[in-house]
Structure 1
Amino acid sequence: MPLIKSVRGFTPEIGENTYMAENATIIGDVIIGRDCSIWFNTVLRGDVNSIRIGDRVNIQDGTVIHTLYQKSVSIIGNDVSIGHNAVIHGAEVKDGALIGMGAIVLDHAVVGEGAIIAAGSVVLSGTQVEPGSIYAGVPAKFVKKVDPEQSKEMNQKIAGNYLMYASWFTSDPRT
């Protein structure tokens, strides 16, 4: 059973058909949409401000989502994939975006719709990542535009795969 903890009068709200690994930690002012998956060792820490997660979002192993007290919130749109060991801190990730493994997205940054943040990149505070673009590096910089349909197709495939993976953990192991 994941650790779901109330703090400061806030209790996490978990959407229908959302899978949470046994050692995921969900704290405080967190609202998670439908058909999401929160994987092993992930921490969604809404103790100092709010975290909002849309529908069909997969937050992969070891990811941390947090905020700044009274200064930033974390907002994750629909159909977003967040790779293993990523950090989202007080940022907004719009619909259909992909955050690569080990990437860090800092306070008040906005990752545009369908954008891709390359693995290991650091998106600095206040950065505005253009929709449908790839950003990479430390600090992350514009690399190129991506075809919006190709990006959407890729992210929907990843999201679909993660729904399938989650079903492996929630179905009867004898079947």
Structure 2
Amino acid sequence: MPIIKTINGISPQIPQDCFIADNATIVGDVSMGNQCSVWFNAVVRGDVHYIKIGDKVNIQDGAVIHATYLKSPTHIGNNVSIGHNAIVHGCTIHDNVLVGMGSIIMDDCVIESNCIIAAGAVVTKNTRVASGSIYAGVPAKKVKDISEELISGEIHRIANNYIKYSGWFK
């Protein structure tokens, strides 16, 4: 059974159509949209500030979603894929974003819509990633504009695939 805990009287809000893996952890002030999935060993920790997650968001194996105490909540838009072992901390991610495996997005960053954060990238505090960008590296920098093929072939494909995958476990 997943660990779903109330913290300071606030319980996670998880719609019935979401998939939460058996060993995922979701605690505190977390609200999730429809058709989301939280995969094996992922942690969504709304203990020190709130975390708002839109529709069709997948938080893949080993990812950590957290915030900064009383300062930086976490907002995740719709149709967002958070890759395996990524860290998303106290930031805002708009719609249609792919956060690559092992990447880190730090406090007070804003990732605008239709972006890819490459695997292993580190988006440092207060960075704003403009819509339609691909960021990579340590620290992450813009490497190019995103193509329509990547938006439909990667961002939308992965988000839709994770809805399909979660159906296998329900």
| 8 Å CA contact 1:30, 1:51 repeated in 2 | yes
Question: 1:167 is matched by which residue type in structure 2?
Answer: G
Of 146-155 and 116-125, more deviation after overlay is shown by 146-155
1:28 paired residue number: 28
Question: 1:18 is matched by which residue type in structure 2?
Answer: C
User: What's the C-alpha RMSD, in Å, of the aligned pairs?
Assistant: 1.0
Give the Cα separation in 1 of the matches to 2:60 and 2:45: 15
TM-score (norm 2): 0.97
Deviations 1:60-92 (A, max 9, x none): 000000111111001100000010000000011
| 8 Å CA contact 1:114, 1:152 repeated in 2 | no
Give the Cα separation in 2 of the matches to 1:27 and 1:120: 26
2:157 paired residue number: 157
Kindly state the Cα deviation for residue 164 of structure 1 after the two structures are TM-superposed: 1.0
Aligned positions of 1:120-131 closer than 5 A: 120-131=120-131
1:141 paired residue number: 141
Aligned positions of 1:78-157 closer than 5 A: 78-148=78-148, 150-157=150-157
SS in 1 for 2:142: strand
Give the Cα separation in 1 of the matches to 2:109 and 2:120: 16
| 8 Å CA contact 1:67, 1:89 repeated in 2 | yes
SS in 2 for 1:52: strand
| 8 Å CA contact 1:132, 1:148 repeated in 2 | no
Give the Cα separation in 2 of the matches to 1:100 and 1:66: 17
Structure 1, gaps ≥5 residues long: 171-175
Of 34-43 and 153-162, more deviation after overlay is shown by 153-162
Question: 1:17 is matched by which residue type in structure 2?
Answer: D
Of 26-35 and 146-155, more deviation after overlay is shown by 146-155
| 8 Å CA contact 1:32, 1:52 repeated in 2 | yes
Give the Cα separation in 1 of the matches to 2:101 and 2:112: 18
Deviations 1:121-169 (A, max 9, x none): 1000100001110000000001010124641442111111111111111
2:49 paired residue number: 49
Give the Cα separation in 1 of the matches to 2:148 and 2:57: 19
Aligned residues: percent identity? Answer: 54
Of 7-16 and 68-77, more deviation after overlay is shown by 7-16
1:173 paired residue number: none
